[in-house]
Amino acid sequence: MKRAFTIVELLVAIGLFGILLAVSGIIFATAVDAHRTAEATTEISQNLAAITDQLNADFRGLRKDCPIAIWFEAGPADPCDPCSPNVRHDQILFFADGDFQSYRYNPPLTGNTARVYYGQANIIDYPNRTVAAGNEYFESNILSRRQHIYSPFPPEPGDPCFPNINFSNFLPQNNDRYEYDNIALSQWKTVVLNSVYNTQIITTCFDNIDGRCGIDLDNAETLHMLMAQGVGHFQIQWSYFWGGQLRWWPSTDPDGNGDNSDSDFPPAEMFGIYFNMPATVDVDVTGEGDNDWRTFTGFFPQALKFTFTLYDSKGIFKEGKTFTHIVYLDG
């Protein structure tokens, strides 16, 4: 005669099966989380390598005889830390030698010298460059790289980036569209001596609407400027020696004593600096009635420090991962 299971035995079996399912679920969830974390880490690592490799390649050919300009901007504040002065959206422009090739032209435009720009971009509706709320550079988390190649054979006639010396019919978006520069290096070295050029060139390269790159992720006409997505808090500092010690400027609490009163960068301040320029750049970008640019002559930084936060596309790392990369300019 076959013996049937008792109710107690069935309950024990069901309980054991439930425990097994629960443990299996925990193991599966842990494996899924580990897989997602690994994917996010790989994505961030790939973006980090792409950014640092490109920075190294561009600055390896830095032209020290040409201007280098940096626009420093604190804020808008980080919603997670609205009192932090370290939320930055800086921009940089410089000239470099290398093997440059355009992206939009067929056949590609090539050249050995280019004007290079890095900064966080606005997300736009191309071609009218409208920027919707939430797509501004301080929220879009897109790092852009823009190059204008010096080539003896530009593919289109005219002077597209800066149409003529009087800047009639001036269109700021041309600074994004074209990938070659018709202002000679010799003109860039003396451009601030001509007041006609000052405001137009500064705002074309650094203004937060028309000067920053405008990228439409759905339109290939703008994607040649896309360096990487998921890049926030783009900060630039330059080095100098003070009291026998290497210091990075601008810094918060540079002496490290916990007192921020000696910080170089008050919250919400914006200004620019120029190296290798023969005269003061008298341009009021912020509309506050004063000159927003400071010129350094007879001095060149030994290194530049880039600090930025990388976010993965799926939001696994909610606060992102912050990285620092230094390029040395005295080699």
Half-sphere exposure of 241 (CA within 13 A, CB side): 5
Residue 4 pLDDT: 66
Q: What angle do CA 248, 251, 254 make, to 5 degrees?
A: 85
| pTM score, whole prediction | 0.82
Tell me phi and psi for residue 79, to 5 degrees.
-60, -25
State the pLDDT at residue 164. 41
pLDDT at 80: 47
What type of residue sits at position 141? N
3-state secondary structure of 81: strand
**What would the pLDDT profile of 244-272 be if each residue is shown by its tens digit?**
777 888 877 777 777 777 777 665 577 77
* Long-range contact pairs involving 126-133 (C-beta distance under 8 Å, separation at least 24): 126/214, 126/216, 126/219, 126/221, 126/222, 127/173, 127/221, 129/173, 129/209, 129/210, 129/214, 131/209, 131/214
Residues of the chain with pLDDT under 50: 78-83, 158-160, 163-172
> What pLDDT is stored for residue 168 in this prediction?
42
pLDDT of residue 167: 41
Where are the strands (E) in the chain, listed by range?
A: 68-73, 91-101, 110-120, 122-123, 142-149, 214-215, 226-229, 231-242, 245-249, 270-275, 293-296, 303-310, 321-328
What residues contact 50, with CB distance under 8 A and at least 6 apart? 227, 228
Query: What residue has token string 């405008």?
Result: 214
Please report which residue ranges of 207-243 form alpha helices under DSSP H.
none
Q: Distance of alpha carbon 229 from its chain centroid, rounded? A: 10
Where are the alpha helices (H) located in 233-291, listed in sequence order?
Answer: none
CA distance 89 to 120: 7
How many angstroms separate the most distant Cα atoms in the chain?
109
pLDDT tens for each residue of 13-52: 777 777 877 777 777 777 777 778 889 999 999 999 999 9
Q: How are strands ordered across the β-sheet holding 293-296? A: 226-229, 142-149, 110-120, 91-101, 68-73, 270-275, 293-296
Q: Are 56 and 80 in contact (CB under 8 A)?
A: no
pLDDT at 227: 95
pLDDT score, position 55: 96
Which token pair is 246?
């290497």
Paired with 219 in beta bridges are none
pLDDT of residue 185: 75
